[in-house]
Structure 1
């Protein structure tokens, strides 16, 4: 997990690395996982041999990636609707389509309907026409100086235009373009296009194409991938030949009364915090190609978005669609030439779009838009603006300027992702507040946790009092380029709800108000390393290494076949290894050298302890130990809570007739999550780790915890299920547990009488306090399902627990 975390940190763009780092890390991961699979099969008597083929399945694509080949699964579609794009696969749909897919799905912006002919379709086209090896040979000849770029381009383009689309692909395209009355804009969406690399103007588009000619238009756009200019551009940008892949975006033609572009940064005055809208009548070609005079509107980014400059040009001609396809240049009526092509209301809508796109993509945007004859605005395209470094203020000026602003916090915390963000403070301590998180706010929390992930794409910055720069939330923040600072003591008290602040995580400074010069400086910086081949390769590797899909051990896909990533394999091995240790009779029969200790305690639990090393005093003689012999930090902390005076009552509880009948008819098999192990309770421990299974009557407690000196290694996983009464009363106890645990910053899920609670990445001392709480809960709620006769009893028992807890020195945190 440390190797995966390191890979995630590198993806933030603050660290320089080379291809050797990627190769070495991938090889190390493979070696470590092989050892883990070997170890699991050793203790499980070779019952998980299938994991070897799972490793091959996962690592073969990683090795292919490192050899420079773009990875496209055979299961990926040839053609897919624009509103159904898988956003985590830009290699399938290309940069332009992926951006529009995000605008549709994440930002809910109006985008013309259409579909994408994917990069897998491109690969299939090459395969059908036996072009892959020929193209490779021509590119090799050019690289060796045997022919020039122009000759190479002509050879490849002629071969593509003469190729066959193929029956399967042609049928898929025709199915998506079935309506004969619709005309299409057929546009390039090459891999990497409009992302870190723009390819602006290097690939072709075909406008107003009738459905019957869409296949020939498709091949023309494919061929533009190998234009002379595109070949030279890719060579300069370090793109390997194997990375060249063309998806094609097909969208319904918008018959526009006006169209144009918008720059969310005014390049003529970057410090002014303004954006610029360009507009003309008809199609946007006049604006994009600069073939005629256009209207220009300069608008302030800050509300109320005042239009500070308004230039209305004499627009003599415009481009419009021809009835049978294609376009034509026509004259603008004389009485309209001096009229503005865009009204103020439409300008206001475009400004909101621009700010939303800029905030989401964390970079200034160059946006193309169109307004149809009914007045509706459509987003046509959005890409990163290419910005000259000459517009950036010198760093020494920035330091001088920022010194004039009041500072709230300085020099605290650890940088999880470097950057600058500004917005109102919004503190989240519950699911309800999370669901209302506003676009552009600064997320301020006590602890980083995976459940906060939905707020990350909307956040201008993140500040946490506790957490790890290598944790899950930090990884997501880096993916979305959200400036993030963790370990900022007292942030929740010092940052008032709704207060506008500017967060500079690079310098670990939080300013009061909006530091516009600092924001401008950060916005126009071009992250050059993020445009290298190695960085793009790292991001693709990370998608196959870091995600965790296997969450629930009870799910039917919790199998070797269900593992989709390196992280999944680690999760599967951990779960199955713990299960093997739980089957004590079989385990002890095969590993007779492993010693099991019996804990002698006043608490009435028959607890056996298996020490993996460092968990029990090494000077202990015999197999019986007392609490003072425990060296495992998690078990020590939990037992302190379990054995708290008054927590563990052995008094009999009166059972009413309904509860009695329920207990008489209940069997343990009814409880979800019941294990095959019967008999005593078990704790598997080391110095910093504990996996505890406690069966108390008809309910089961599982606690998996780690207390490492480095907080990002730490976790508590608590699972509770079962009870003696009917499901209604058992569910009440589950709700009580959930209410109490959530007050101590656990993320809790409840299903019937099953409670699953997690807390992550806290320092050792805070993990110890929470384990004490779990220990107290295990004793406190042992027979509560019998006593919880109505929902009205829940608050009473919560108050009782917190009263006892405060006497023990613990108070809830939320």
Structure 2
């Protein structure tokens, strides 16, 4: 794509060598600014949709991505027309940025020139499509949070595609899956065909060498674990892919094949189908970590899944390896810990633990009997409990969602993080209202106040007890799944279940995770459930009260149905979150950084930022203007205001009698700029106090004292005003704050308008968004049509008389000075209105004249 565009544009540019009409250049610049504005608004809109308050479909996402790509293509075209085609490489950058975005939309994974094997400490944690979900998250835990994670390497998704290609499997697997999805083939048969083909394959020699090289470097034994695309992220795949523990180095290639094959287990295929991602191209990276010989292990849930225990971290622990807890194979201790320091332990439930899973000599695992004297001992100490709670809160804070974390404590007493995934909680955590509870009193109760809540909610249907795989194949839609254990293979019927009840199991286990993901009410550890609840009996499970009623409790069911559904769990919402990770982040903050290059653009936002900055720099490239543009002179505005402003005169706004290249505002016959500068130059809007805390150095460009010499900020700020007698286009950057004002102020009101855009800041998004809200509150009182999206505000005003446009420009000028450091001071939402009132108190006279 980019090469065709480059050829078309370079032909036009080659004819324009030598002298150029600046008005044409300025037209290209205005076009670039308009596209820049639209692109930023589009990104803000996508970000707003990610808040969960809007419903959208995949077409909206596809159309938005295409529109954004088109806007960037035109921005690149405009920049090259301004800069004589010196930024042609941006077309290739555009492809590099959007290839993985398009791959996400199409369900494919773009790997490009990726390695087969990488280390967890390699600088690749921004490449989830390479590492897979689980390894990608652990790389962040190591590199960003510096928490202890076992050393390891990742056999990447590229290696997976290499394996399929080498064994001629890709097309065959696709055809088999398509046959099952269309109803032409049975699930179990499809799964067996694919898994057998993968296991019968040969690891390519180049890949085999890479795996062996890493496998023999460090550990004597390894944990070989799945890290599928999306695993532990928007989708958990909890327990559906194979993990092998205590694998010897020479056994890793065969273990690798077993993990690959598990991508096509019946449970995994069914899960992907139910979650709406079967059509996406799957991929399996494999995570190999040094084996921790665990004396104890378990799971941390950073938010309690039981709604009766808010603000609580729950820790499950048992002796030996973690399968005891995550697969519900045995009893585990449960510790409830306060979420906030010092993480006091509010309750300890120590179970009787008869067996533990340990590493076997020669590889693999074995189940061993725990001596009677240890069976009732706590699996871990109070110090370890509090340390794990602290880590859990840190992970929740970083990933910005509740977490479910697998951990282990080695034989020396050191704790390790093994895995961290999003914990899906019920969105209907409130207890039913009292009148609904009163209605329930007329129904017979089969079980009351028993069990552990894995997912809160109400479900009703006929009991179906599953005791074997054959039973599972007969599971009817809408039945209540009742089983003795929370076996992971039950996951494939969870989407069809109205509720789940088991005699054993943990709320931290894999089946519980799947239940939460599908929002199926689940109650575990209900003694004698398989005896009390018989096949065919209609029941209603109310996990809010840990109660099972005989019959269908219509009042309770209706109440639960009225609770709002959660769009955040849809495939479209998860796709949006993945797209935003490639679109919205801004890495190119400092134009002076050596990374501020086309190759440094990692996101669409980076590319927008780079193009915009370079367009301004092209116009600000003072030494080259004499040679490149016809009839253009550049003036520097001399003012006490700490802003270095360059002025381009489009149409004799500055008298030809002015000598030199410096002017004062009275010498610029541009009423729009003069009106704005009247507001900007008011001394009471410019705080001269230095910024507090450790931001002083970072904000030094924003805290300059008034300069009696009128020299203001340095020329590197690239502030630009393009003017004539009725028009102003002002691009103004104060530190990390960006203002754009576009004004027509004519004698004819219908020609007049003000366009104002402000974005940015140096603080977190919450404070920046508060400043945008403050600006909206003030501007709306002056009849601007103002809209905020995050830290972006866009305000417009149309068809007012010249005098009123002039007054509004004075307000904008005052606001530029008043709000330049305000994001730092907006520490709470209450501060917004306080500073709104302060602005009006300072500018009473101006406010009265415009009200």
User: Match of 1:25?
Assistant: 64
Asked if the contact 2:219–2:291 (Cα under 8 Å) also holds between the matched residues in 1, the reply is: no
What residue in structure 1 maps to residue 730 of structure 2?
690
1:636 paired residue number: 677
- Residue 706 of structure 1 pairs with residue 740 of structure 2: yes
Q: Does 1:768 align with 2:813?
A: yes
Q: Pick the aligned partner of 1:211 from 230, 249, 253.
A: 249
Structure 1 residues 327, 528: closer, same or farther in 2, change over 3 A? same
1:506 match: none
Which has the higher mean CA deviation after the structures are superposed, 358-367 or 633-642?
A: 633-642
2:188 to 150, 160, 170: 150
Judged with a 3 Å threshold, the aligned counterparts in structure 2 of structure 1 residues 347 and 23 are, in CA distance, closer, same or farther, namely closer
1:106 aligns with 2:106: no
Counterpart CA distance in 1 for 2:819 and 2:403 is 49
**Distance between the aligned counterparts of 1:607 and 1:379, measured in 2?**
53
CA distance in 2, matches of 1:526, 1:210: 50
Contact 1:273–1:301 at 8 Å: present in 2 too?
A: yes
Residue 712 of structure 1 and its aligned partner are, at CA, apart by: 5.5
Q: Tell me how far apart the structure 2 counterparts of residues 633 and 761 of structure 1 sit (CA, whole Å).
A: 24
CA distance in 2, matches of 1:760, 1:135: 47
Map of 1:89 onto structure 2: 127
- CA displacement at 1:711 relative to structure 2: 7.1
Post-superposition Cα deviations, 1:539-575, rounded to whole Å, max 9, x if no partner, equal 3333333334445555565554554433343334333
Query: What does the per-residue CA deviation read over 1:372-423, in whole Å, with 9 as the maximum and x for residues that have no partner?
Result: 22222222223233444564446999xxxxxxxxxxxxxxxxxxxxxxxxxx
TM-score, structure 1 length as denominator? Answer: 0.60
Which whole-Å deviations, capped at 9, do the CAs of 1:343-391 have from their partners, x for residues lacking one? Answer: 2222222222233333333433333222222222222223233444564
Change (3 A) 1:318 1:85: farther
Q: How far apart, in 2, do the equivalents of 1:714 and 1:383 lie?
A: 33
The corresponding residue for 2:520 is none
1:35 and 2:74 are equivalent in the alignment: yes
SS in 1 for 2:262: helix
Deviation at 1:252, TM superposition (A): 1.4
SS of 1:87's equivalent? coil
**Structure 1, unpaired ranges of 5+:** 398-524, 652-670, 676-680, 694-700, 718-758, 776-805, 810-814
Q: Does 1:221 align with 2:259?
A: yes
Distance in 2 between residues matched to 1:41 and 1:559, nearest whole Å = 15
CA displacement at 1:144 relative to structure 2: 1.6
C-alpha distance in 1 between matches for 2:311 and 2:709: 69
The equivalent position to 2:108 in structure 1, one of 59, 64, 69, is 69
Q: Report the counterpart of residue 775 of structure 2 in structure 1.
A: none
Q: How do 1:198-597 and structure 2 match up within 5 A?
A: 198-268=236-306, 270-302=308-340, 304-388=342-426, 391-393=429-431, 528-553=566-591, 558-582=596-620
Q: How far apart are the structure 2 equivalents of 1:766 and 1:393?
A: 51
| Structure 2 residue aligned with 1:743 | none
2:321–2:356 Cα contact (<8 Å) kept: yes
Distance 1:323 1:163, change over 3 A: same
**Whole-angstrom CA distance in 2 between matches of 1:282 and 1:692:** 62
Report the CA distance between 1:12 and its aligned residue. Answer: 2.9
1:195 deviates by 2.2
Q: Return 547-556 or 37-46, whichever deviates more.
A: 547-556
The alpha carbon displacement at 1:597 in A equals: 9.1
Q: Conserved in 1, the CA contact under 8 Å of 2:302 and 2:404?
A: yes
Give, in angstroms, the shift of residue 117 of structure 1: 1.6
Distance 1:761 1:298, change over 3 A: same
Question: What is the distance in 2 between the residues matched to 1:170 and 1:221?
Answer: 15
1:108, distance to aligned residue in structure 2 (A): 3.0
Shift of the 545–396 alpha-carbon distance from structure 1 to 2, 3 Å rule, reads: farther
Give yes or no for contact 2:721–2:728 (8 Å, CA) kept in 1: no
Structure 2 residue corresponding to 1:55, chosen from 78, 88, 94:
94
Cα drift, residue 584 of structure 1? 7.4
CA shift for structure 1 position 596: 6.3
In 2, the alpha carbon distance for the partners of 1:282 and 1:601 equals 75
Moved more, 349-358 or 235-244: 349-358
Unaligned regions of 5+ residues in structure 2, if any?
1-39, 436-562, 659-665, 686-704, 743-753, 763-790, 796-808, 821-841, 846-851
Q: 1:139 aligns with which of 177, 197, 202?
A: 177
Shift of 1:146: 1.3
Q: Give CA deviations for 1:729-763 in whole Å, capped at 9, x if unaligned.
A: xxxxxxxxxxxxxxxxxxxxxxxxxxxxxx99799
- Partner of 1:185: helix, strand, or coil? strand
Contact 1:683 1:690 in 2 (8 A): yes
The question of 1:9 aligning with 2:45 is answered no
Within 1, Cα distance between the matches of 2:211 and 2:811?
A: 58
The alignment of Structure 1 onto Structure 2 pairs a total of residues equal to 573
CA 1:771–1:307 in structure 2 vs 1: closer, same or farther (change >3 Å)? closer
After TM superposition, the structure 1 stretch with the greater mean CA deviation from structure 2, 358-367 or 12-21, is 358-367
2:648 paired with 1:610: yes
In the alignment, the residues of structure 2 paired with residue 217 and residue 599 of structure 1 have an alpha-carbon distance, to the nearest angstrom, of 69
Task: String of CA shifts for 1:286-327, please: whole Å, max 9, x gaps.
Answer: 222222333333334455544444333332222221111111
CA RMSD of aligned residues (A): 4.7
Partner residue, 1:183: 221
Alpha-carbon distance between aligned partners in 1 of 2:635 and 2:295, rounded to the nearest angstrom: 83
Q: Distance in 1 between matches of 2:281 and 2:51?
A: 22
1:79 aligns with: 117
Q: 1:627 to 1:527 in 2, by over 3 A?
A: farther
